[in-house]
Amino acid sequence: MSSVSWIVTTTPQVSGLVGMAKDAGLPVEAVVVGERATAEAVAASGVDTVRWVELGDSTPAEAASTLVADLAESEQPRLVLGGTSSEVKALLGAVAARTGAELLPAVASVEAEDAGLRITRALFGGIAESNEVWSSPVVALADAGSAVQPSGEAAQITAVEGETLPITVVERAVAPQEHVDLGAAKRIVAVGRGVKAREDLALAQELADALGAEVACSRPLAEGVDWFAKDRYVGVSGAHVAPELYIALGISGQLQHMSGMKGAHTVVAVNTDKDAPVFTQSDFGVVGDLYQVVPALTAALKG
Ligand SMILES: Cc1cc2nc3c(=O)[nH]c(=O)nc-3n(C[C@H](O)[C@H](O)[C@H](O)COP(=O)(O)OP(=O)(O)OC[C@H]3O[C@@H](n4cnc5c(N)ncnc54)[C@H](O)[C@@H]3O)c2cc1C
């Protein structure tokens, strides 16, 4: 293991990473994957050296993963830092797998100590924090920060020679998304995994229509099965809402969900499990099957 830190990046936005690497008290070497202009911007960001992996126009950064992993294997950096873009995650994942280093997400700070690097990071979406000293190599995902105003002499740039993986981008398509501002909603009908099939979401939509409410969901419905766009889920890592009325249908009430809707004025829960945690934070609870309760509620509201 060498006594250097690496910053792996595909963009010039590295202020957070450079600051963190300096706090670790190690020389800072940047590995830039992408355009020469990016390598030049990073070279002027306060790093000591820059290695540059050039990519063709239609080659994605992920194609450089084995090349960057080879380099890490031969140089064994003590600390590897990168941002949270999917491209950088792919590169850092390859480095961690090849070098056997621990891959740590959500790193907030790194400090040098005699016993190793003290690393603080957020756990469970930010509701807890871990503080550990690592004596073995670490690959850390952190907030990359912004671009750095050039100052002082720029670091030397050395091109990395080698084959990238044969991957070509043939088309880029942006998925159409309707955006919703759940934070502004006065009434919300939120659904969870108690809903068994996508087509059953119509039940919640009908109730929401009758109430003039927005439909929202728990995270598994937006990130597990993709029934909703990500801006529809409520919770610690999703939308934070404070409606007058929040109706939770088939949502168990885990802390990560409830912390996103604790500003709700009146909470109504429908759940088949009388011991579901959601009931402890509800004003009104119905122990029952949402497939029976929701149509009855909708009919009552329409009537
Ligand atoms: C770091 C981290 C961050 C997270 N952030 C979030 C976040 O921001 N938001 C979020 O929502 N989650 C988040 N989670 C996930 C969270 O921990 C829970 O796993 C998730 O909220 C559970 O979703 P759920 O309540 O829909 O599903 P489940 O926990 O599976 O609950 C489903 C509920 O439906 C009930 N049910 C089943 N059938 C019926 C029926 N027919 N009628 C009525 N009720 C029924 C069951 O009794 C059960 O209580 C996070 C997790 C981690 C680790």
Task: Determine contact, residues 165/55, Cβ cutoff 8 Å.
Answer: no
Find residue 31's DSSP bridge partners: 8, 51
303 residues of the chain, pLDDT tens digit each: 668 899 999 999 999 999 999 999 899 999 999 999 999 999 999 999 999 999 988 999 999 999 999 999 999 999 999 999 999 999 999 999 999 999 999 999 999 998 899 999 988 766 789 999 999 999 999 999 998 888 789 999 999 999 999 999 999 887 776 788 999 999 999 999 999 999 999 999 999 999 999 999 999 999 989 899 999 999 988 999 999 999 999 999 999 999 999 999 999 999 999 999 999 999 999 999 999 999 999 999 998
Contacts of 178 (CB under 8 A, 6+ apart): 229
How far, in Å, from the CA of 200 to the mean position of ligand 1? 17
Q: Whose CA is nearest to atom 21 of ligand 1?
A: 257
Contacts of 10 (CB under 8 A, 6+ apart): 32, 33, 34, 38, 61, 85, 87, 88, 91
Our answer on whether the CB atom of 49 is closer than 6 Å to any ligand 1 atom is no
Our answer on whether the CB atom of 227 is closer than 6 Å to any ligand 1 atom is no
Q: Number of C-alpha atoms within 13 angstroms, CB side, residue 192? A: 22
How far, in Å, from the CA of 222 to the mean position of ligand 1? 11
d(CA 14, CA 8): 9
Q: What is the pLDDT of residue 69?
A: 97
How far, in Å, from the CA of 197 to the mean position of ligand 1? 15
For residue 235, which atom of ligand 1 is closest to its CA?
A: 8
Our answer on whether the CB atom of 124 is closer than 6 Å to any ligand 1 atom is yes
Our answer on whether the CB atom of 232 is closer than 6 Å to any ligand 1 atom is no
Q: What is the pLDDT of residue 275?
A: 98
**CA–CA distances in Å: residue 98 to residues 79, 95, 241:** 14, 5, 42
How far, in Å, from the CA of 135 to the mean position of ligand 1? 37
Q: What is the pLDDT of residue 152?
A: 80
Q: What is the pLDDT of residue 1?
A: 63
Report yes or no on whether pTM surpasses 0.85. Answer: no
Our answer on whether the CB atom of 237 is closer than 6 Å to any ligand 1 atom is yes
In the block, tokens 């503080």 appear at 131
Domains of the chain: 5-159 (3.40.50.620), 182-302 (3.40.50.1220)
